[in-house]
Amino acid sequence: MSVTTTETQTRSVPITAETILSLFPDIDTSGEALEGHDEEQIRLMDEVCIVTDENDMPIGTASKKLCHLMTNIDKGLLHRAFSVFLFNDKNELLLQQRASEKITFPDMWTNTCCSHPLHMASETGSNLEDSVLGVKNAARRKLDHELGIKKEQVPLEDFHFLTRIHYKAPSDGKWGEHEIDYILFIKANVDLNPSPNEVKDVQYVSAEKLKQLFEDPSLKFTPWFKLICNSMLFEWWANLDTGLDKYKNEQQIRRM
């Protein structure tokens, strides 16, 4: 009985940026991992991410830096993220190549925009409906920040939430990802003005062109993008105009 009581008391302490060190005294907060990196990218590492349990329930917050250190990921630290797939009127997918300045997965090609909702009222939620709204708001913010896509070109109601994927992937020895990733589709013709600190290159591709790019050994792709492509992307893509409704608003989390 006493063991159960102790466990309950321990779990009642929320994991927050303030309590995370007392709950996980050996968690890595050292500054050495950021030495030598781009100043703007180091600044962004202070953004506050939403820490969740494995069922995507928010249980606190932690900095982007804490969430992406492999030493912390290996202890189970998990956070919420999103991946936007933006298509033009030709049903071509907009890809971006991450800038060399990026701390995680630099120079790799990936889907249109990948980032995190932050710990703010407009971007968080404890039930699926509110959480989806939060990641859509975050997606509009980051599409502007990374690619210069203005919010009026990507209206909130034009985003389609498909599913969530839970995955873990190392970037290098120090950094990685452990996320519950919300998949968002949107079809829009947009004006691009990429930030060179975020994006090295962009291109629109057809499904066949993307499959050809995967065969090019000189190109590197982010692990979450490859996971999504190898599971459902091409089926979703084929149904973009006619049958996407049957894939939308999936309740279960896909474990990858």
Q: List residues bridging with 221 in a β-sheet.
A: 109
Q: How would you classify residue 131: left for phi > 0, otherwise alpha for psi between -120 and 50, otherwise beta?
A: alpha
Distance CA(190)–CA(27), nearest Å, equals 42
- Check: CB of residue 29 under 8 Å from CB of residue 71: no
Cα→Cα distances 36→28, 32, 98, Å:
18, 9, 18
Among residues 201, 184, 183, 217, the alpha carbon closest in space to that of 98 is found at: 201
Alpha-carbon distance of 172 to 222, in angstroms, equals 12
| Surface-to-core class of residue 147, CB atoms within 10 Å of its CB (0-12 exposed, 13-18 middle, 19+ buried) | buried
Instruction: Report the alpha-carbon distance of residue 34 to residue 68 in Å, rounded.
Output: 11
The catalytic site residues sit at 114, 179
Residue 249 C-alpha from the chain's centroid: 18
Non-local CB neighbours of 78 within 8 Å, separated by 6+ positions: 51, 52, 53, 54, 166, 178, 179, 180
